[in-house]
Amino acid sequence: MQSQFYSFQANGLKGEKVSFSDYQGKVVLIVNTASKCGFTPQFEGLEALYRQYKDQDFVILGFPSNQFANQEPGDEIAIANGCVVDYDVTFPMFSKIDVNGEQAHPMYKYLKRELSGLFGERIKWNFTKFLIDRDGKPVKRFSPYYKPKDIEKFVTPLL
């Protein structure tokens, strides 16, 4: 049976539709991001993790959200420029979405149901992370305080 994760799609930063079935067989780390957050420097660690393991079918998917203290106010062009210019991000980034509430992206509703955290099915803040195994199963949720270098020990056994 195919994982529900692969049934979702989202818009890339350039507006193109991206099907998550494109990531079948990969280990995926989902991150809600913001360019004006105290955790924004995590882009550097995320990019390092991505570059180290991308050739082993690991991918990070970044989802900007402006739901926390207006920390992602820009449009897709501003988001792309900030990620690329400031942090040299090469992993896929998507258009801005909601991660909480009625308008939350369906993938986030699914992930929060599968791996509820300290705040239940709510995302607490920017840079909450979800690790998905090669079969599309959500296996671990990380708080924003969890640094990308500390996630590596959970990624490598799945590769």
Domain spans of the chain, in order of start: 4-158
Mean pLDDT of 54-80: 79
In percent, how much of the chain has pLDDT > 70? 79
What fold does the segment set 4-158 form as a domain?
A: Glutaredoxin (3.40.30)
Contact, 81 vs 43, CB < 8 A?
no
> Which tens digits make up the pLDDT trace of 88-121?
889 999 988 888 888 888 998 999 888 775 556 6
Q: pLDDT for 30-40, tens place per residue?
A: 999 877 655 66
Answer whether 6's CB lies under 8 Å from 138's CB. Answer: no
**Confidence label for 77 from pLDDT (cuts 50, 70 and 90):** low
Contact 63, 97 (CB under 8 A): yes
Q: Looking at 38-42, 104-108, 132-136, 138-142, which range is the least confident one?
A: 38-42
Residue 148 reports pLDDT greater than 70: yes
Tell me how far apart the alpha carbons of residues 36 and 70 are, in angstroms, rounded to a whole number. 8
Catalytic residues: 37
Q: Is the pTM of this model over 0.85?
A: yes
